[in-house]
A and B are shown apart, each in its own frame.
Chain A
């Protein structure tokens, strides 16, 4: 097994409040891991800590990504190393077009990896190709980043950005929330097209239905800042039927 990410005894807090209380998790290249759990269990915190959000303080534990100490890197360094976070609430940036935003991101990442920036023609070709992954209309490229986008359009834009950046580890934070079935299908098919033996996904979700479209190798259930159960994909169906209470009960 080729370990890409290894989380050991991770504790993280906001102010005085401890939210992650000892997470252990190991992900290999080529795998899809789903993280489920009731509201407030720490799912979004985990994704934010992995992406380097400074709102949270890591108080204990370690995260090793591709052999490096992930927690020592700034958010942009993590991005350059191939970590992508699909936001639960994508941010609006008025006046900055999607095309300029993506050009800045793609070319900075290329620069950091010692590659030449893409020329205008190459870049636009790449954009068109990747927009097709998520059935995005080309008119989106000229619009301000997420400005006036519907909930579904914002999420598709996240998957589009992921397709542009081709990360090695993508963390999708409740990408399915607020999506109708069509949007869900589009988002999931984008993820499936990007799956390769050398990358990995962490799919954070509250509901089982996304996992009808993205089939995980492993499911983890997070509760009160700890993983209380790790199992195969069949766990999702059980949760769908019985909810989380029985798992919580068993763990206590």
Chain B
């Protein structure tokens, strides 16, 4: 084994930190998927008829759809009848709002569910398996007219808003997994920022899978009304198990005239073990629309977890002079597979998009960037710049890029740059000669490589992401 390989092997043998299971009494529905199951989920959630109809329609569409096979992924067959689609922790008593065990779980994950002593200025909607167990700072935010609550609560309390926006950016039948999600989604987060309001704190959703044999299907719906501002964070973890679990979410973001939304994700689902056993299948549809003129949407993602990732946070640039940026770091190690990227659809005039994608592959993993930049005939003066870099650690992993550019406007400017590099033995030796250990050196080099993206994250998130990059790659060189 070459020296650099040995080092990568050492550095990428890190342990997943959040692999514990919470012992809590849960309410499960029978496994399997049919109209009765969907009716049961809807009934458990005491939903209005329109939402049940929405689900059933999506289910009927889903039944006619085929699994997508175009991604550069090797996905083992999934038995959709072998999944429990709803699992909710039981309330310990009528008086207690939340099970102390669950509160402890989130504490352990670094997500406080109480408001006292929280200095970070982050409000959180905590989703545990199929339900939102707690949303913090709802009342403080309500004083500014901001709605931040679980999706179920939004359906109960703000049905007009939910109906107005639901599935307007990601139609149910958009793809196989969005249709599945639309049929069985159980909870998620809802957020509405009124006109001209600058949200005074970061809002966040934290998704935790706990129960065995279940899938998690949640929806996030974010609406930023004219001239408003929001920074939204999303995090996720799951227990270590030998069998894989499915997570199929839908995120929709509506950005009205002159509003700005920053959506940052640190995705740390259980990635499976070093032999490729277990891990989450993360098949997610995220899309936003810059609806009004001058609206801005920024995606930043740090993807380190999941056995398989299939995810393309995208923006429809409909408003004139609207702007969207996509910054991504995707790390794959061991036998992880990721096919991730973005779509920028330019419709309005003078719309601008920027894509910066940094892939890091180690072990036997496969890491693909897939992007589409589409400029419609009306999008005069549209501009895009894409930069896709791949970093390889070791020689058994793969990095691939699939950039597609479709421009129907001759005046548009579309630029694409791509690089592939390796951590060189020279770099490692240079660091080690200065007394920096192998592991630290790789962390330093990888973080340097990803810096442009990490810089876009909110401060606290950036620190966490940096650590995560290093842990994810522990033992990777090999």
A residues bordering B, Cβ < 8 Å? 51-55, 74-76, 78-80, 84-85, 87, 90-96, 100-101, 104-105, 108-109, 112, 144, 161, 165
- Complex contact A75–B429 (CB within 8 A): yes
Q: Count how many chain B residues have C-beta atoms less than 8 Å from C-beta atoms of the other chain.
A: 24
Chain B residue at minimal CB-CB distance from A75: B432
Question: Cβ of A95 and Cβ of B440 under 8 Å apart?
Answer: no
Contacts beyond the supplied A79-B432, A93-B431: 11 A-B pairs with Cβ under 8 Å: A51-B433, A75-B433, A79-B433, A79-B434, A80-B435, A90-B430, A92-B427, A95-B450, A100-B444, A104-B431, A112-B435
Closest approach, in angstroms, between the C-beta of A71 and any C-beta of chain B?
Answer: 15
Of residues 332 through 381 on chain B, the ones whose CB sits less than 8 Å from some CB of chain A are none
Selected contact of A91 from candidates B426, B438, B447, CB within 8 Å? B426
**How far apart are B104's CB and chain A's nearest CB, in angstroms?**
33
Q: Restricting to B386-425, which residues have a CB under 8 Å from any CB of A?
A: 424-425
* Residues of B close to A74: CB separation below 8 A: 432
Q: Which residues of the partner chain B approach A92 to less than 8 Å between Cβ atoms?
A: 427
How far in angstroms is the closest Cβ of chain A from B92? 45
Residues of B within 8 A of A79 (CB): 432-435
* B22, CB-defined interface residue at 8 Å: no
B436 within 8 A of A: yes
In this assembly, does B35 line the interface, its C-beta being within 8 Å of a C-beta of chain A?
A: no
Closest B residue, CB atoms, query A144: B448
A-B complex: 7 closest residue pairs judged by Cβ atoms? A95-B448, A79-B435, A96-B448, A105-B434, A91-B430, A95-B451, A75-B432
CA distance A96 to B432 in the complex (A): 15
A53 to B430, alpha carbons, bound, how many Å? 10
User: With A94-B449, A95-B451 in contact, do A87 and B432 touch (Cβ < 8 Å)?
Assistant: no
Whole-angstrom distance from the CB of B450 to the nearest CB of chain A?
A: 7
Known contacts being A100-B444, A144-B448, is A165 close to B430, with CB within 8 Å?
no
Enumerate 21 A-B pairs (CB-CB under 8 Å) in ascending A order: A52-B432, A75-B433, A76-B432, A76-B438, A78-B433, A79-B434, A80-B435, A87-B433, A90-B430, A91-B426, A91-B427, A91-B429, A93-B444, A93-B445, A100-B444, A101-B431, A101-B434, A105-B434, A108-B436, A165-B434, A165-B435
Report B128-168 residues with CB < 8 Å from chain A CB: none
Q: In the docked arrangement, what's the CA distance between A80 and B447, Å?
A: 24
A109 touches which of B435, B445, B450 (Cβ 8 Å): B435
Q: Given A80-B435, A109-B435, do A93 and B430 touch, yes or no (CB 8 Å)?
A: yes
- Min Cβ gap B135→A in Å is 37
- Residues of B with Cβ closer than 8 Å to A? 3, 424-427, 429-438, 440, 444-445, 447-452
Chain B, residue nearest A110 (CB): B435
Which of B435, B436, B449 lies at the interface centre, i.e. has the most chain A CB atoms within 10 A of its CB?
B435
Q: Is the CB of B444 within 8 A of A104?
A: yes
Given A53-B429, A75-B429, A100-B444: A95 and B436 interface contact (C-beta under 8 Å): no
List, in ascending order, chain B residues with CB within 8 A of A108's CB.
435-437, 440
Say yes or no: A54 contacts B3, CB within 8 Å.
Answer: yes
Identify the interface centre among A79, A90, A91: most chain B CB within 10 Å of its CB: A91
The residue on B at minimum CB distance from A113 is B435
The answer to whether A96 and B444 have CB atoms under 8 Å apart is: yes
Closest to B421 in A: A94
Contact between B444 and A101, CB atoms less than 8 A apart = yes
Chain B residues near A165: list those with CB within 8 A. 434-435
Name the residue of chain A whose CB is nearest to the CB of B449: A95
A155 to chain B, nearest CB (A): 14
A93 cross-chain contacts in B, Cβ below 8 A: 427, 430-431, 444-445, 448
In whole angstroms, how far apart are the Cα atoms of A74 and B441 in the complex? 14
- Find chain B residues with CB under 8 A from A52 CB: 432-433
Provide the bound-state CA to CA distance between A93 and B430, in Å.
9
A79 CA to B429 CA in the complex, in Å? 11
B432: A residues at CB distance < 8 A? 52, 74-76, 79
Tell me the minimal C-beta distance from B424 to chain A in angstroms.
Answer: 8
- Per the bound structure, the CA–CA distance linking A131 and B435 in Å amounts to 20
Q: Which among A92, A95, A105, A112 has the highest number of chain B CB atoms within 10 Å?
A: A95
Taking a contact as CB atoms under 8 Å apart, the answer to whether A76 and B430 are in contact is: no
B452: chain A residues at CB < 8 Å are: 95
Closest-CB distance, B343 to chain A (whole angstroms): 27
| B444 and A76 within 8 A (CB) | no
B192 to chain A, nearest CB (A): 38
Contact B433 A85 (CB under 8 A): yes
A144 to B430, CA, bound (A): 14
User: Which of B3, B445, B448 has the most C-beta atoms of chain A within 10 angstroms of its own C-beta?
Assistant: B448
The CA-CA distance from A175 to B435 in the complex, in Å, is 20
The reply to whether B450 and A105 contact each other, CB–CB distance below 8 Å, is no
How far apart are B470's CB and chain A's nearest CB, in angstroms? 12
Across the interface, name the chain A residue whose C-beta is closest to B434: A105
Q: Taking the nearest CB of chain B, how far is it from the CB of A65, in angstroms?
A: 15
Bound Cα distance A109, B436 (Å): 8
Residues of B within 8 A of A100 (CB): 444
- A149 to B132 alpha-carbon distance, docked (Å): 53
By the criterion CB–CB under 8 Å, are A104 and B436 in contact? yes
Q: Which of B424, B436, B451 contacts A105 (CB 8 A)?
A: B436
Residues of chain B contacted by A96 (CB below 8 angstroms): 444-445, 447-448
Residues of chain A lying within 8 A (CB to CB) of residue B445: 93, 96
Given known pairs A53-B429, A90-B430, A91-B430, the reply for A76 and B437 (CB within 8 Å) is yes
Query: B440 — nearest CB in chain A belongs to which residue?
Result: A104
What residues on B are CB-neighbors of A161 within 8 Å? 434
Given contacts A79-B432, A79-B434, A161-B434, contact A95 B427 (CB under 8 A): no
Partner of B430, one of A78, A87, A112: A87
- Hey, which chain B residues are within 8 Å of A105, CB to CB? 431, 434-436
Residues in B with CB closer than 8 Å to A90 are: 430
A91 to B452, CA, bound (A): 20
Most buried by B among A51, A74, A96: A96
B437 closest partner in A (C-beta):
A76
A50 to chain B minimum Cβ distance, whole angstroms, is: 11
The CA of A52 and the CA of B427, in the complex, are separated in Å by: 14
Residues of B within 8 A of A76 (CB): 432-433, 435-438
**Closest CB in chain A relative to B59 CB, distance in Å:** 47
